[in-house]
Chain A
Amino acid sequence: MAITASRLLADHKVVFAGVGMPLLASAVARHRHAPHLTIVLEGGIIGTALLPGKLPISTNEMRAAYGAQMLTDITDIFLYAQRGFFDYGFLGAAQVDMYGNINTSVIGSMERPRVRLPGSGGANDIISLCNEVLIVTQHEPRRFVERVDFITSPGYLSGGDSRARAGLLTGRLGAVVTDLALLDFEPASRRMRLRGLQPGVSAAQVRAQTGFELLVSDEITELMPPSEEEIAIYRELRDGPVKVALEAS
């Protein structure tokens, strides 16, 4: 999933990444096919290099700035986004709907939530202000719902031109990457659409794990399995350099 997502990031672009899977995928891209990819984090960090095995948990901790080119403050980094400098915004999602709206606020009602989730953080800003938004998340019916309980971060709202009518004049939702599939949004209705399948996965399996009616592209590609090189880079970034002693044994 992280590797599929990493392939969407082109060289010489600027990506505003959330922590966890988005950051890991961005780091893989930078270490493989996109050495000039500039990774930006909401703590105010531009061009972080990241220390393998010590990826940050928080975008505001020292780890996040390892090898960075510039540190500014938090508000400023989002204002770079608002100015249009960031090619990609890269997010995870607790709950996402057929129009790409994300909920990270509440399960149930806001007045009497069944589960109070942490909140937006920078997700609302990233999806509102970056030029192209990528979402990476596990493919499960409880995550892929027809309507989110609460729109924390606006995708295409109720479809069509509703996003633009709300005043969100920039930003398009490029892709949703999951462990099962690659999805995008049909240009007229702005509904989520199946574009590609992870190796060995069927369209029926994807539909079974999606809580709404999924549009299907005319052309569905089978996604390339991760190469050994990609897996090695991914593991080193996640776990740190492979210990020589371990390799020898």
Chain B
Amino acid sequence: MERIPEMSRVLPKMDRARPEMNRARPKMDRAAGRPVLDKRMTAEAAVQLIRDGDHVAIGGTLYSRTPMALVFALLRQRRRHLTVSRPLACYEIELFLSTGALDRIVTSWVGIGLPWGLAPIFRHYVERGEVVYDEWSHLAMGLRYKAGAMGVPFLPSRTMLGSDLAVRLDLQDVTCPYTGKRLAAMPALNPDVALIHVHRADMFGNLQVDGYQHMDVDMARAARTVIVSAEQVVSPDEIAARPDQTMLPHFAVDAVVAAPYGAYPHECYGRYGPDLQHFDAYAAAAKQNGPAAGLRYVEQNVDAHADFAGFVAAAGPDRLAALAADAEELMAP
């Protein structure tokens, strides 16, 4: 496969055929240096921190607490040669593919869920060799972010041994110096940028979530730049009232974007359920028209609105109220 000039500028030694690992990425020490400032900005301003060729990690998992307001803002920019990683990837991957933004996917699973079948746009690009899919196990993704978050180059594990996934990725073994046991060495993943959606943030970037944490904490601590969207931007006092609920401190965050319904049409724990009808319509169009449907989706749902609030408003108050009621039912067992 031909080297892409823009990409080799940003990622000096990266070889497209090789799985993306930190051995091609010398810089992993830029964690400090974030002053205590008001970091509030619009999604459009925040995604200016992302450059062509960047590795962007997307928080949440599958259709839960996906930072959709930030994803949409990034889609609008039509960046090129991105790598995207996630624990499990949903159809946002197909939107990046359809708009020509992606060179590489790093995840353990791609789709919406069993009822919607295989992801046709993802299949289109991967089966033609037009995008690289580095398939890791789910735990491997977690340990890769965790190693990145811990500031170590790898973490040992007993998973992925003996599989063709390991062969395909050229995953290396290590021998335990104490017991002689064989372990897989999960290489650290330090994304250029992490996009995270949370329930509450203050203007400095102290973050709180309810319910699942997914892999967000490790992903953000591993990343060089962290952009956060929040259902609510609250006062620092409100954060300090429940410090045990704080998932990440301000010095791990670069930008805070106020985004009510910022995970819609995906779900946000305790706030609103997933919009399954929206998924149905998307999946039907993707099945029928492939990448053209993905591009059309972006034109209609991203480009056609001035901002993400416009997209949310287009869903209508009744739909949003129904999704909030779904969440409420599940929160009261």
Contacts and interface: CB of A to CB of B under 8 A. Distances in A.
A114 B146 CA distance: 34
- Interface of A, secondary structure class, is loop
Interface string B260-290: 0000000101100110000000000000000
B109 A167 contact: no
Contact of A125 (B113, B159, B212): B159
B162 A167 contact: yes
B54 interface: no
B126 interface: yes
B183 A61 contact: no
Contact of B138 (A125, A167, A170): A125
Interface stretch (B34-42, B114-122, B192-200): B114-122
Interface stretch (A32-40, A147-155, A233-241): A147-155
Given A82-B157, A151-B164, A118 B61 contact: no
A168 B162 contact: yes
Chain A interface category by residue count: 35 or more
Interface stretch (A1-9, A67-75, A131-139, A189-197): A67-75
Given A60-B61, A105-B135, A120 B165 contact: yes
Contacts of B64: 43, 58, 60-62
Contacts of A150: 164
Pairs of residues from A and B, 7 with the lowest C-beta to C-beta distance, nearest first: A166-B162, A75-B142, A78-B139, A124-B137, A167-B182, A121-B109, A122-B138
Given A66-B330, A125-B137, A150-B164, 19 more contacts: A19-B113, A43-B214, A60-B212, A73-B215, A73-B218, A75-B143, A75-B215, A78-B138, A82-B157, A110-B164, A112-B127, A114-B127, A115-B127, A118-B118, A125-B139, A128-B158, A128-B161, A151-B162, A166-B162
9 contacts: A62-B327, A73-B218, A74-B215, A116-B127, A119-B110, A125-B140, A125-B159, A125-B160, A129-B159
Interface of B: 60-64, 87-88, 107-111, 113-115, 118-119, 122-123, 126-127, 129, 133, 135-140, 142-143, 145-146, 157-165, 168, 173, 181-184, 211-218, 267, 269-270, 273-274, 327, 330-331, 333
